[in-house]
Amino acid sequence: MTIPHPVEPWRVKTVEAIRQTDRAYREHALREAGWNPTLLRSEDVAVDLFTDSGTSAMSDRQWAVLMQGDEAYAGARSFYLLRQEVRAHYGFEHVVPVHQGRAGENIVSQLLIRPGHHVAGNMYFTSTRAHQERNGAVFHDVIIDEAHDPTSEHPFKGDVDPAKLRAFIKKHGPDAIPYLSIGATVNMAGGQPISLASLATVREIADAHSLPVVLDTARAVENAYFIKQRESGWADTSIADILRAMCDLADVAIMSAKKDSMVNIGGWIGIRDPDLAERARALVLLYEGLHTYGGMAGRDMEALAQGIVESVREENIAARIGQVAYLGHRLIDAGVPVVRPIGGHCVCVDALATLPHISREEFPAQTLVAALYADTGIRGVERGALSAGRDPVTGENRYPPLEFVRLAIPRRVYTQTHMDVVADSVIRLHTRREQIVRGLEFTHEPPHLRFFQARFRPLGGDSIFDSDTV
């Protein structure tokens, strides 16, 4: 069923040129990049759907307040403004600024995790788990089974399975569990939301064992939108109030403000416990900067404070999710296998269903990411075995059930025409998918977050395409 593209609740004031390239140029660029589009220069990309993180267009108001940034080393006014907006919208008393989400993950993991610990959560995220593992924890996935099934239409595929969570606590014991790690939305499931009912159950189980809940709020506003749309009893509550209701169920929030808050850099840790907050500030001094700027300039904090206010406006979030849904439904209508239902920040093309002839060891989703760029100039990112990395104990590749190409949509950046070009291009490639005949093998495999800098070669030939492809 085709759905309409939402009317953008903004108009364009500044534009950035997009360079056109031809297929021969792109294949050359891809080879230079070791078949990893992450290593391309962005000027060689036509529509960049690599990530929605830090790629949003700021509003005129955000650009305007940059001039008001207080760049004082200590006690900057911009920090107090940021703290005020985080307190008002997310409800955390203590606000520790960091330069982006993973800096918060580093600090929270160092503060709470000890070797031998176990952390449970609703599916892993790459940098989140990497920091948990670096500090000695083992991550356990307690998300509902439906999250691992790309065809399931479950409205809250980010929900925690309470039976899995209880069994996890029983097995490892609360003393070996520093906190529960909950994402809203769940990026690696395709931007799928967690319900407030599930968050409340997590809180209840956590309380029964005196465990803190750490909420990843990177896309919590998008999650709130889905709650408003899908969870009974919330249709008449504002996005802002749903966001608060979600955060009220957590002890700590880690925020990558590069997503919902529509800034190009920034983040914060929200904490209720004053002692933990004091210890977090002490670590921020070591890794980021003073506790009144973290890793941000004063102007970054101004833009972030304004971005928070804009992020919860109903028309903004509705148009944002509506645009993602428009692209997703164009692909669904054309028979392209995508993760269902369409998530908050991305459309995910199921690589296992698209390229069944390429084995998991040959990274079908990375192969499809490379093919998509060569064919169309569109850049997505692999979310599958390459992103999952190796088990730190066994050294074996991890093969998550989901293996997809994520097309993440930056906020307020692309128009309906761009979405149509992306849909047409992905559909065209899908109809010719049998021309993708080879997968990839590593020529360079980095030790951490390997998908960013890995290099490959086609396995058993010169190209991933058959020789007839033009």
- As beta bridge partners, residue 455 has 444
Cα distances (angstroms) measured from residue 384 to each of 148, 365, 366, 381: 11, 7, 8, 10
Q: Is 379 in the site for ligand F0G (CB under 6 A)?
A: no
Question: Rounded to an integer, what distance in angstroms lies between the CA atom of residue 78 and that of residue 66?
Answer: 10
Residue 187 as a binder of ligand F0G (CB under 6 A): the answer is yes
Estimate to the nearest angstrom the gap between the alpha carbon of 181 and the chain centroid: 15
Nearest to 368 by CA among 45, 146, 37: 37
> Shortest distance, CB of residue 258 to ligand F0G, whole angstroms?
5
**3-class secondary structure, 182:** strand
51 is catalytic: no
Is 73 assigned a catalytic role?
Answer: yes
> Which of the residues 219, 259, 379, 412 is marked catalytic?
259
Helix 314-333 and helix 416-431, axial crossing angle in degrees, nearest 10:
20
Helical residues (DSSP H) of 195-273, grouped into ranges = 196-208, 220-230, 239-247
Measured between alpha carbons, how far is 265 from 96 in angstroms, rounded to an integer?
15
Applying CB under 6 A, among 120, 218, 304, 305 the residue interacting with ligand F0G is 218
Residue 101 near ligand F0G by CB under 6 A? yes
Comparison of 127 and 376: residue with beta carbon closer to ligand F0G: 127
Tell me, residue by residue from 266 to 285, as one string, x for binding to ligand F0G by CB under 6 A and - for no binding.
-x------------------
How does DSSP classify residue 38? G
Number of residues that bind ligand F0G (CB under 6 A): 15
Residue 218 or 242 with smaller CB distance to ligand F0G: 218
Q: Which residue of the chain is nearest ligand F0G when measured via CB?
A: 101
Catalytic residue at 465? no
Restricting to residues 124-143, name those near ligand F0G by CB under 6 A: 125, 127-128
Is there a contact between 344 and 369 (Cβ–Cβ < 8 Å)?
Answer: no
Half-sphere exposure in the Cβ direction for 51 (13 Å, CA)? 17
Under 8 Å between Cβ of 82 and 305: yes
How far apart CA 383 and CA 333 sit, in angstroms, is 23
Q: Is 109 in the site for ligand F0G (CB under 6 A)?
A: no
Identity of the residue, 218 or 407, whose beta carbon is nearer to ligand F0G in the bound complex: 218
| Identified binder of ligand F0G from the candidate list 183, 212, 341, 458, rule CB under 6 A | 183
Query: In the annotation, is 383 catalytic?
Result: yes
218 or 347: CB nearest ligand F0G: 218
> Is 177 exposed, middle or buried (CB count within 10 Å of its CB: 0-12, 13-18, 19+)?
buried
Among 129, 131, 228, 258, binds ligand F0G (CB under 6 A): 258
Which amino acid, 73?
Y
Contact between 192 and ligand F0G per CB under 6 A: no
Catalytic residue among 179, 404, 451, 465: 451
Give the pairing type, strands 213-216 and 252-256: parallel
Catalytic option among 23, 61, 73, 171: 73
Catalytic-residue membership of 171: no
Return the range that interacts with ligand F0G (CB under 6 A); candidates 99-107, 191-199, 220-228, 233-241: 99-107
Question: Could you give the residue numbers annotated as active site?
Answer: 73, 125-126, 216, 259, 383, 451
Q: Which residues contribute to the site for ligand F0G (CB under 6 A)?
A: 51, 53, 100-102, 125, 127-128, 183, 187, 216, 218, 256, 258, 267
